[in-house]
Structure 1
Amino acid sequence: MKRTVATLADGREIIYFDHPGAPDRVTPDPRALDPVSTASQIRHDPVLDEWVIVASHRQNRTFLPPADQCPLCPSRGDRHTEIPSPDYDVVVFENRFPSLSTHAAGGEVPGLPELVESAPGLGRCEVVCFTSDHSAAFATLSPAHARLVVDAWADRTTELAALPGVAQVFCFENRGAAIGVTLSHPHGQIYAYPFVPPKTRQMLANAATHAERTGRNLFADVLAGERETGARVVTATEHWTAFVPAAARWPVEVHLYPHRRVPDIPALSDAERDDFTHVYLDVLRRLDALYDQPLPYVSAWHQAPTGPGREHAYLHLQVTSIQRSADKLKYLAGSEAAMGAFITDVLPEDVASRLRDIGS
């Protein structure tokens, strides 16, 4: 992998990840840009014991521009984008409209109740462009190119986890207008949180309880149970298993687990990274074939936090979709949105069977 670091016109970092032999990517950014906002803050909800990120400057971020004005395409001719180079393989850069910032200074909020703590939204938000091809998708990448993305995730996880105050690194992709994507170019994001998010806290607390009771790892036992029954396994290889969880919340939900317990993406071996690209591309292509159309989804890496709870973590990827049929979406209504109690309209076993049949 060829790694090149440069700086954008407003001081943000940009990193090119290219296949060996690629040309040099250091191209000046001629744009005149306003300074990046440092107003991000976090506020603590004492009732739920959760931190909420407040980033009001994001209201004016770029929203669904036409393809010929895409800010994630390479810069060519007189059109200058977020990527100054005229081409790239994979590129990562600091978000121009970050939810969290290493320079955040928005912590002091007058008039808050005594019970509500606030602090600057310290952290970092990055954009990961999977390819320079605007019309592509992760599912259309070659295994070699997908492996380059995995290596970029690993690189950024290592660097961001080392930043002062970062509690967890979250790599993810939002895909499709139905999910709320504001840029159609194939890309993902990475958040370096200053706190451990609620879902991770709950999972690790449950894993700690399970370990105390059984002496075993919760995630490893879940994987072993799914592999043993096989009823919801979509596909499996030497190093990975993809399955629909028995208590799936979403109409389409697939989890991908490595067979070896590791805390995060950097800990994956070369063989495990190579194997992942084949399994993941296979799963994504099955998902697109499910309704014979691109499936909107959220693809979320669950990595270990940098501090307490790391000993119970088990790296895995969750892909979820709100598409409950070819022409219907699942909306989070009363029970889900207000109470967090999910009601699913489809049997997980049926979804797994349909996804298996697509690949047969």
Structure 2
Amino acid sequence: MKRTATRLADGRELFYYDLRDDTVRDAPDLRRPAPVATTSEVRRDPLLGDSVVIASHRQGRTYHPPPDDCPLCPSRAGRSTEIPEPDYDVAVFENRFPSLAGDSGRCEVVCFTPDHHASFADLDEERAALVLAAWTDRTADLAELPTVAQVFCFENRGAEIGVTLGHPHGQIYAYPFTTPRTERMLDSAAGHHRRTGGENLFDATVAAERADGRRVVLDTAHWTAFVPYAAHWPYELHLYPRRRVPDLPALDDAARTEFPQVYLELLRRFDRIFGLPEPTPYVSAWHQAPFRHPHRSEFALHLELFTVRRAPGKLKFLAGSESGMSVFINDVPPEAAAERLREVAST
């Protein structure tokens, strides 16, 4: 992998990740955009203790442009985009409309491929490995920023999820705090550790799923994927490396090598769940340990992949119970979801 760091015309950082070590990236950004203006502010909910980001400038972000005006495609003669080169392998740049900025953190966009009409599932294993390398590299870099407490790499795919740009891409959020979801997991892990005299909750959870077997979807030498016992979403997968590590930079070479094959297989199964011609909308979310948390070593890196589609033509909406009381009601039994995900395995 070769990384080339440069800057866009407005000063934002851009990183190219290339498969070939002899690749040269020196195309200038020919645009003259207005300076980036952000209004990000983190406020704390006094009742729940949650951090809420107020980012009013995002009201003006690019919204469903036509394919020939996509800002994530490579630049072409007469049309400059966020990526000045006429082609790229993987590109990462600071978001022009970030939810988090300055002392409130940082947001980056990860473009998986120059092909506007592709998806992550269409990548080959070499390109998928390059995306993993980019996630890892950016996590390590952002960990060095004193204002960053946790890094979240994720992909939203599909209009049903709320995606405003159709080009295959993900994002990286660098939070200035430990997220509420992670705090809850760490609190649960600490409690389990006390009650059991030292057992790790993440290890115990994966071991229990492997022993039960009914919800295991894929079990390889270095990764285990299963539908959790108390799945929140109609089709939800959790993917863990067999050796517990706190974050992406800590993955060993064996897990890295096997990841592209495993992840691409899971994404392709998701697209086959409903037997529909259109791709399945999903969220793919890496959970990594906070950098300076006292219980960081107890956390287990894992990926959660889920869809809001519960049946052909039907979505799972976060209505009264979910939105009002944070109590999820799942219409699809996790065991049935796991069985379906095993049925649609690649032949």
In structure 2, the residue matched to 1:326 is 312
CA contact (8 A) 2:38 2:57 kept: no
Whole-angstrom CA distance in 1 between matches of 2:230 and 2:44: 30
3-state SS, counterpart of residue 247 of structure 1 = coil
Matched, 1:220 2:220: no
**One-letter amino acid matched to 1:202:** R
Matched, 1:67 2:67: yes
* Count of aligned residue pairs for this structure pair: 342
Aligned pairs (5 A) from 1:253-332: 253-292=236-275, 293-308=278-293, 309-332=295-318
Whole-angstrom CA distance in 2 between matches of 1:263 and 1:21: 29
CA contact (8 A) 2:287 2:302 kept: yes
Matched, 1:123 2:80: no
CA contact (8 A) 1:236 1:279 kept: no
CA contact (8 A) 1:42 1:53 kept: yes
Unaligned 5+ segments in structure 1 are 103-120
Aligned pairs (5 A) from 1:96-135: 96-102=96-102, 122-135=104-117
Matched, 1:186 2:168: yes
Deviation digits for residues 154-180 of structure 1 (CA, Å, limit 9, x no counterpart): 000000011012110000000000000
**One-letter amino acid matched to 2:320:** G
Whole-angstrom CA distance in 1 between matches of 2:20 and 2:55: 38
CA shift for structure 1 position 326: 1.1
In structure 2, the residue matched to 1:94 is 94
**One-letter amino acid matched to 1:181:** V
Aligned pairs (5 A) from 1:49-68: 49-68=49-68
Q: TM-score with structure 2 length normalisation?
A: 0.97
CA contact (8 A) 1:335 1:342 kept: yes
Unaligned 5+ segments in structure 2 are none
CA shift for structure 1 position 29: 0.4
**One-letter amino acid matched to 2:13:** E
Moved over 4 A (4+): none
In structure 2, the residue matched to 1:341 is 327
CA shift for structure 1 position 21: 4.3
Aligned pairs (5 A) from 1:122-161: 122-161=104-143
In structure 2, the residue matched to 1:14 is 14
Whole-angstrom CA distance in 1 between matches of 2:5 and 2:108: 14
Deviation digits for residues 181-204 of structure 1 (CA, Å, limit 9, x no counterpart): 000100000000001111000000
**How much is the aligned-residue C-alpha RMSD, in angstroms?**
0.9
Whole-angstrom CA distance in 2 between matches of 1:151 and 1:270: 11
Q: TM-score with structure 1 length normalisation?
A: 0.94
Matched, 1:354 2:340: yes
Percent pairwise identity: 61
Whole-angstrom CA distance in 1 between matches of 2:231 and 2:145: 34
Whole-angstrom CA distance in 1 between matches of 2:292 and 2:188: 17
Whole-angstrom CA distance in 1 between matches of 2:322 and 2:135: 31
In structure 1, the residue matched to 2:225 is 242
Aligned pairs (5 A) from 1:15-54: 15-21=15-21, 23-54=23-54
Whole-angstrom CA distance in 2 between matches of 1:40 and 1:70: 25
**One-letter amino acid matched to 1:151:** A
Deviation digits for residues 227-250 of structure 1 (CA, Å, limit 9, x no counterpart): 111100111110001110010010
Whole-angstrom CA distance in 2 between matches of 1:22 and 1:181: 35
CA shift for structure 1 position 23: 2.8
In structure 2, the residue matched to 1:114 is none
Structure 1 window deviating more from structure 2 (22-31 vs 139-148): it is 22-31
Matched, 1:173 2:159: no
